[in-house]
Structure 1
Amino acid sequence: MATINPTYINKSRFWIDGIQTIALVSDVFIFITGGFHLAVSVGWSYIVYSLHFYYCWFIGVAIGCILAPLLINWKRRRLFIFSPILLVIVSAIVTISACNNTNALIAARYLNGIAIGLTTVSFIMHASEIASEHSRGYCLCLEQIGLACGAYVQMLYTGYWSSEVDFNPYCLQGIFCIVFGVIALMFTFTSIDSPVLHLRHGDEPEALNCIVRLYRPPVMSNAKQVIFNKLKEYVTMNESMSLGQCFMQSLGPLLRILPYRCMLSFIVALPIVETFQWSEGVSTAGSVINWPPTLYGLLSALGVLVTFSIIEAIGRKAVSLFSLLCAAGMTIGVGIIFNDTIALINSTKMATACALLMIAQLFGGIFAPSTTVYMGEAFPLRLKRYFIAFTVLVQYMVDLIIVCTFTFSPDNVFVYCLVTGVLMCVACLIFAFTMPETRKTTLLETQQLFSYGLHLRFY
């Protein structure tokens, strides 16, 4: 009896579903611009202006999250993406034209934050609806890939920027944002509408047309009819629920998804960056090349790419929880080192802390994409955009609170690393029993999985 090569199956699946990833590329370039500003907000800024300058981007994202659920169904969802792209480009133009004006830079960061808030909610909704059960993880990972790549670029030129350079670093950031904004605008022509959105509006022919375009080859087949029937069943089941039922069924997933997503705020945070900058400064004192920021950012981006490559092959739960536990352990280790005042000027101890923080970033990068994937899968359809927006809003408000309340000192670093490390360990234990494994399940099946409170399966 002939056997089927698994490699051939994977290649065939990628060829069939690959168009779904291409349809989301424009969003990735918007997230890259957000990565620049996120990195600035957590301490990767060559010029420090004010506390308001740091946290204003978080407020912008929150505003975007509040507006997104209200605007997202105005018209075809893919046309909605033009609004944040224009905000990104306007923000970049303001940054370049007034790169020496603090108030103008703050206004530009507000605009970019609003664009990222709008895009995040729209992207998670859209990507989860257009992707098949075989590629949903890949598609939803693109948010964190964009943010990680943008943050890495910001880390690179911040780490190597010199006061001798007669050029404002924010002017360079603005140039990058314009370039990526224009590229995002060009890639909107590859986007495809969500069939779920058209089914909700009662337009079955257009929904079927979207499905035909989302799977290669772009011709009607029995397999695509099956996909259409599954999505129709998903929409029908959700539309039959009252708003009260939908709200109650969303609370259980929210109680798990909200703290799960907020773990990112402890990993990518101002205290962590300032601790790293201190430790690498002491450990590399006298060195000609300031190499640690390069490796630090690279490991974070590499972690995200690792998850992108394995999230459908291995799954979400086991890998992400193991990574969260490892990041927690590294963070606690850094806190213990900073509890010894003498260690602050010891190059060996600081090199150890620097290495631990790099490893924590690697595992943090591996953990991050699963937060987006679970958000796209957890909530019932009718109120999904509101709960996604609320989750993202709370996450960035946690970031804002950390930025506004943290002052760098050995004692504060010890307390922050110990408390957040312990919280991540406890959360990891709870998530091990409450988060489902949703690999290769349809949206209807994931929604049903999240309706249960206890999950012991890891693969």
Structure 2
Amino acid sequence: MDVSVKKQVEAAHPKAAIVTTCILAALAGLMFGLDIGVISGAQQFIQKDFGATDSMIEWVVSVMTIGAAIGALAAGWTSAALGRKRSLLIGAVLFIGGSLFCAMAWNAESLIAARLVLGLAIGIATFTAPLYLAEVAPERIRGAMISTYQLMITIGILLAFLSDTAFSSTGNWRWMLGIIAVPGALFMVGLFFLPDSPRWLLLRGRREDAQIVLAKLRGDEQVVAKEIADIEDSLKTKQHGWSMFRENPNFRRSVGLGMLLQAMQQFTGMNVVMYYAPRIFQEMGYDTKAQMWFTAAVGLTNVLATLIAFALVDRLGRKPILYAGFTMMAVGLGVVGTMMGMGIHSHGEQIFTVGMLLFFIVGFAMSAGPLIWTLCSEVQPLKGRDFGIAASTCMNWATNFVVAVTFLSLLSGIGNAQTFWLYAVLNAVFIVLTAWLVPETKGVTLEQIERNLMSGKPLRKIGS
């Protein structure tokens, strides 16, 4: 091993280095959560200030998902050509600029353009951050570090809801949207202290630089040497996703399953609540102050329930948790719709309806929220994994857009009770689809899943 690498090993504090590195990268998830959450509390004040229609507000909310889809596609190039670190820096700059642009918007159209810029930032960050985390975290804590990214999204949503609540007394939506530039700036500064991904450095032929980075992060010469050898070996497996998709029907099945899973996640209705929580509480009869505080309660419930998935996913398996989650979501939204259809007349009925909405949140956060992403990465064969995950991620953003751009129209078109019943029925359908198509992958190696898929086994049995 080179002298420079040995010096880095001797000076390394690997535990501190890896924790700091992964926390900084996971802060990309915080920005994602902030962007999701901040528009929820601000939209009623924006609508009043600009005299915007419900249709225009739907576009203000949903255009972010279009930008995110474009950003995620662009990040495939930026992360490969410029590196994971520089790709995250581009995302941070766009996030800061988009946030300030939102705060200075002079009409609904300019706000839509600003939200599109924010979407680009989020798309880049959501593609690059998990990739970076997977490449720098030691194998023994890789799952926990990537899960931290998902947790940071929920924390970002909660912080945005609390920020909106604090500003709601003045109705100053510009501060609501602009204040998130501050954590964006902190994230950008922190990125300058991140190392480049060792895998990307090896992809660019910079072997010594990769060794130095790993020496700082691992602090053990033998571990560094073995990991360098493993990365170089894995890089020999070239991605052939598009040609596999055209030629191999079994691969088309796994891509289709990934896309279906992401559509299922979005059509649970979770992002309806995330984007439009104050409007939902308004439909329950609450005033503005109560709407904002209950929206904050939604964010807190989302954070706490996400921890349930971390605790149970490798104990109980994927499918039992998905069954429980979809059942809870179907029941929760079904009851919310029924209460709205009957009319909410007393304070007790209001509290009960809020409780059932929070019951729905728990069902999502413990199941479809984190587990869909896990399954989408597990079912794709190695040579087509990049293509399969890209396809499912694009489906996530596309269906996210559909949900966001139709909710207010559904409320005014078919009514609030019928809208929630619609989502309740969809969750019931997802129980059937889980039983029919979704494999149980707990304790099964990715190699075994791939062998089962390529041998033609039914999708629900490829985890056997």
TM-score normalized by structure 2? 0.78
Which residue of structure 2 aligns with residue 359 of structure 1? Answer: 359
Q: Distance in 2 between matches of 1:439 and 1:355?
A: 32
Which stretch has the larger CA shift, 54-63 or 436-445? 436-445
Which residue of structure 1 aligns with residue 85 of structure 2? Answer: 78
Q: Are 2:244 and 2:384, in contact at CA under 8 Å, matched by a contact in 1?
A: no
Shift of 1:30: 3.3
Q: Are 1:25 and 1:184, in contact at CA under 8 Å, matched by a contact in 2?
A: no
For residues 176-229 of structure 1, the C-alpha deviation after alignment (integer angstroms, 9 at most, x for no partner) is x222112212322453444444455555555555544443xx1212x5555455
Secondary structure at the aligned position of 1:239 is classed as coil
After superposition, where does 1:162-311 map in structure 2 within 5 Å?
162=168, 165=170, 168-175=172-179, 177-201=180-204, 206-215=209-218, 218-221=219-222, 223-236=223-236, 238-239=237-238, 244-245=243-244, 248=248, 250-265=251-266, 266-270=268-272, 277-279=279-281, 282=284, 291-311=293-313
Q: Distance in 1 between matches of 2:436 and 2:195?
A: 37
Q: Distance in 2 between matches of 1:81 and 1:239?
A: 24
Which residue of structure 1 aligns with residue 36 of structure 2? Answer: 38
The answer to whether the aligner puts 1:94 opposite 2:92 as a matched pair is no
After superposition, where does 1:27-66 map in structure 2 within 5 Å?
27-40=25-38, 45-47=43-45, 48=47, 49=52, 50-51=56-57, 52-66=59-73
Change beyond 3 A, Cα 1:316–1:128? farther
For residues 359-409 of structure 1, the C-alpha deviation after alignment (integer angstroms, 9 at most, x for no partner) is 111221222122333344443455544443332332222222233333225
Q: Distance in 1 between matches of 2:33 and 2:319?
A: 25
Shift of 1:327: 1.9
Q: Are 2:317 and 2:441, in contact at CA under 8 Å, matched by a contact in 1?
A: yes
Which residue of structure 1 aligns with residue 329 of structure 2? Answer: 327
For residues 63-94 of structure 1, the C-alpha deviation after alignment (integer angstroms, 9 at most, x for no partner) is 21232223321132222211111111112232
Q: Distance in 2 between matches of 1:29 and 1:275?
A: 24
For residues 206-253 of structure 1, the C-alpha deviation after alignment (integer angstroms, 9 at most, x for no partner) is 5555544443xx1212x55554554444433x3286852366464333
- Whichever residue aligns with residue 183 of structure 2, its letter is F
Shift of 1:303: 1.7
Shift of 1:160: 5.5
Shift of 1:345: 3.8
Q: Are 1:323 and 1:364, in contact at CA under 8 Å, matched by a contact in 2?
A: yes
Q: Distance in 1 between matches of 2:234 and 2:449?
A: 11
Q: Are 1:64 and 1:118, in contact at CA under 8 Å, matched by a contact in 2?
A: yes
Secondary structure at the aligned position of 1:118 is classed as helix
| Structure with higher helix content | 2
Give the % identical residues. Answer: 18
Q: Distance in 2 between matches of 1:159 and 1:270?
A: 19
Change beyond 3 A, Cα 1:259–1:198? same
- Whichever residue aligns with residue 334 of structure 2, its letter is I
Q: Distance in 2 between matches of 1:324 and 1:76?
A: 38
Change beyond 3 A, Cα 1:19–1:278? same
Change beyond 3 A, Cα 1:113–1:410? closer
Which residue of structure 2 aligns with residue 7 of structure 1? Answer: none
Which stretch has the larger CA shift, 445-454 or 118-127? 445-454
Q: Are 2:36 and 2:275, in contact at CA under 8 Å, matched by a contact in 1?
A: no
Q: Distance in 1 between matches of 2:278 and 2:108?
A: 26
Which segments of 5 or more consecutive residues in structure 1 lack a partner in the other structure?
A: 1-14
Change beyond 3 A, Cα 1:32–1:455? same
Which residue of structure 2 aligns with residue 389 of structure 1? Answer: 390
TM-score normalized by structure 1? 0.79
- Whichever residue aligns with residue 359 of structure 2, its letter is I
Q: Distance in 2 between matches of 1:116 and 1:131?
A: 22
Q: Distance in 2 between matches of 1:453 and 1:131?
A: 34
Which stretch has the larger CA shift, 445-454 or 418-427? 445-454
- Whichever residue aligns with residue 34 of structure 1, its letter is F
Change beyond 3 A, Cα 1:288–1:41? closer
Which residue of structure 1 aligns with residue 375 of structure 2? Answer: 374
RMSD over aligned Cα atoms: 3.8
Change beyond 3 A, Cα 1:421–1:282? closer
- Whichever residue aligns with residue 169 of structure 1, its letter is W
Which residue of structure 2 aligns with residue 431 of structure 1? Answer: 434
- Whichever residue aligns with residue 268 of structure 1, its letter is M
Which residue of structure 1 aligns with residue 9 of structure 2? Answer: none
Q: Distance in 1 between matches of 2:16 and 2:380?
A: 25
Q: Are 1:328 and 1:425, in contact at CA under 8 Å, matched by a contact in 2?
A: yes
Q: Distance in 2 between matches of 1:157 and 1:250?
A: 45
Change beyond 3 A, Cα 1:25–1:106? farther
Q: Distance in 1 between matches of 2:307 and 2:112?
A: 31
Q: Distance in 1 between matches of 2:235 and 2:337?
A: 49
Q: Distance in 1 between matches of 2:303 and 2:365?
A: 6
Secondary structure at the aligned position of 1:191 is classed as coil
- Whichever residue aligns with residue 352 of structure 2, its letter is T
Q: Distance in 2 between matches of 1:209 and 1:381?
A: 28
Shift of 1:317: 4.6
